[in-house]
């Protein structure tokens, strides 16, 4: 093979290598502009929201953030590709994302993206702060706290002494624990949850003790048993100084908080003043009395209703009893025997008895 043939073969080989490259289609820049919206499809996303544009056929991939021009959600890119290519435009924020797929053709405008798909979130919210009791009674405790500032915070799970009680949703930030026992310590536990269901497993707790029930005032009649010809007196202690109270004498019954006080059996309700918390013995029923079983009630607020924490009630049941008649009076005309008289009487009876026995056996 001469030199000319060799050169010809080499030239053909070079042409075969270069030809595909030269004839391969060149990527043509295409402009794509549009707007990214929030999930309502109307509100533009804030400036700085991330987006990407990807030509799935040419492989060209552009990323950026919104704020193009006067629009906070506006974007604009140049993407290399050919008409007919499939282009995916995506935008996202911390919680949601959205995607729009278009076919590339010339310069494209008005390509909108709506970020309405929840993004995967595995980060729980921060805990509540400033947890503490703000008020309490004998059977309840009110707790308040400050909710976390996380944008995706949803609610606070509340536990009392380890038992789940309620979900408190934002913007509420308090819980009233009711139906508790007096003078008892309770612990509230809280855990926060976000919109994706992530739970902060760190406990934030606070402890409070309910108030002690006040000791009800005491009441007593001067005796437990009366005769019909005696007067009934009553006294009390533990009442609010400087106030007036009503004293009722009523038929005996089993008392419950809130019971209506029956009609006074004496025909009149005594109203007396409280001095230094005490009620001195006062006549509440003048003889003659009616036989029966009775209670004495001191109505502290004079509303005609028995209040177990503020009103006074005889501690016994019944408070007192009236017997039907006075006790018999001992006779005053029976002589009293002295010891010598008793001995003489016994001797006389013995003599009489012996005489009767002799006559019987004669």
- Reported as a single tens digit per residue, the pLDDT across 83-95 is 999 999 999 988 8
| Total of domains in the chain | 3
Question: What's the CATH number where 74 sits?
Answer: 2.60.40.10
Pairing verdict, β 86-92 and 96-103: antiparallel
Query: Do residue 111 and residue 148 come from a single domain?
Result: no
With respect to residue 334, please indicate whether it lies within any of the assigned structural domains.
no
Query: Using CA atoms, how far apart are residues 112 and 108, in angstroms rounded to an integer?
Result: 11
**pLDDT tens by residue, 175-193:** 999 999 999 999 999 999 9
With respect to residue 276, please indicate whether it lies within any of the assigned structural domains.
yes
With respect to residue 247, please indicate whether it lies within any of the assigned structural domains.
yes
Query: Using CA atoms, how far apart are residues 167 and 155, in angstroms rounded to an integer?
Result: 6
Q: What pLDDT score does 6 carry?
A: 59
The parts of the chain modelled with pLDDT lower than 70 are 1-26, 315, 326-362
Q: And the tokens for 118?
A: 């929840």
Judge contact between 298 and 236, C-beta under 8 A. yes
With respect to residue 349, please indicate whether it lies within any of the assigned structural domains.
no
With respect to residue 357, please indicate whether it lies within any of the assigned structural domains.
no
Q: And the tokens for 52?
A: 């990407």
Query: Do residue 205 and residue 223 come from a single domain?
Result: no
With respect to residue 64, please indicate whether it lies within any of the assigned structural domains.
yes
Contacts of residue 112, defined as CB under 8 A and 6 or more positions apart, other chains included, come to: 34, 35, 36, 37, 100
Domain boundary among 118, 148, 175: 118
Query: Do residue 113 and residue 176 come from a single domain?
Result: no
Domain encompassing residue 142 = 129-209
With respect to residue 92, please indicate whether it lies within any of the assigned structural domains.
yes
pTM, to two decimals: 0.43
Query: Do residue 173 and residue 84 come from a single domain?
Result: no
């Amino acid at each position: 093979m001469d030199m000319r043939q060799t050169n010809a073969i080499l030239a053909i080989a070079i042409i075969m290598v270069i030809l595909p490259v030269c004839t391969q289609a060149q990527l043509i820049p295409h402009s794509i502009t549009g707007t990214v919206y929030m999930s309502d499809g109307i509100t533009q996303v804030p400036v700085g929201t991330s987006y990407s544009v990807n030509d799935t056929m040419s492989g060209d991939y552009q990323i950026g953030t919104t704020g193009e021009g006067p629009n906070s959600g506006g974007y604009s890119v140049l993407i290399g590709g050919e008409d007919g290519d499939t282009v995916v435009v995506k935008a996202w924020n911390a919680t949601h994302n959205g995607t729009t797929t278009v076919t590339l053709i010339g310069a494209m405008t008005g390509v909108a993206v709506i970020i309405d798909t929840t993004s995967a979130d595995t980060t729980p919210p921060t805990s509540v702060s400033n947890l503490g009791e703000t008020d309490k009674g004998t059977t309840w405790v009110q707790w308040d706290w400050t909710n976390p500032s996380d944008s995706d915070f949803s609610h606070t799970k509340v536990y009392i002494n380890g038992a789940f009680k309620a979900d408190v949703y934002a913007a509420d930030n308090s819980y009233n624990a009711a139906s508790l026992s007096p003078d008892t310590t309770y612990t509230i536990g809280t855990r926060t949850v976000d919109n994706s269901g992530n739970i902060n497993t760190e406990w934030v707790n606070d402890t409070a003790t309910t108030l002690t029930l006040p000791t009800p005032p005491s009441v007593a009649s001067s005796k437990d048993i009366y005769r019909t010809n005696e007067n009934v007196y009553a006294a009390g202690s533990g009442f609010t100084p400087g106030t007036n109270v009503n004293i009722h004498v009523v038929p005996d019954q089993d008392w419950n908080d809130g019971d209506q006080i029956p009609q006074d059996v004496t025909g009149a309700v005594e109203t007396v003043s409280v001095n230094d918390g005490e009620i001195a013995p006062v006549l509440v029923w003048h003889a003659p009395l009616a036989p029966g079983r009775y209670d004495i009630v001191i109505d502290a607020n004079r509303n005609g209703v028995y209040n177990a924490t503020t009103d006074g009630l005889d501690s016994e049941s019944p408070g007192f009893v009236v017997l039907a008649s006075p006790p018999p009076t001992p006779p005053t005309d029976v002589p009293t025997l002295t010891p010598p008289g008793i001995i003489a009487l016994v001797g006389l009876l013995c003599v009489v008895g012996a005489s009767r026995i002799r006559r019987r056996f004669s």
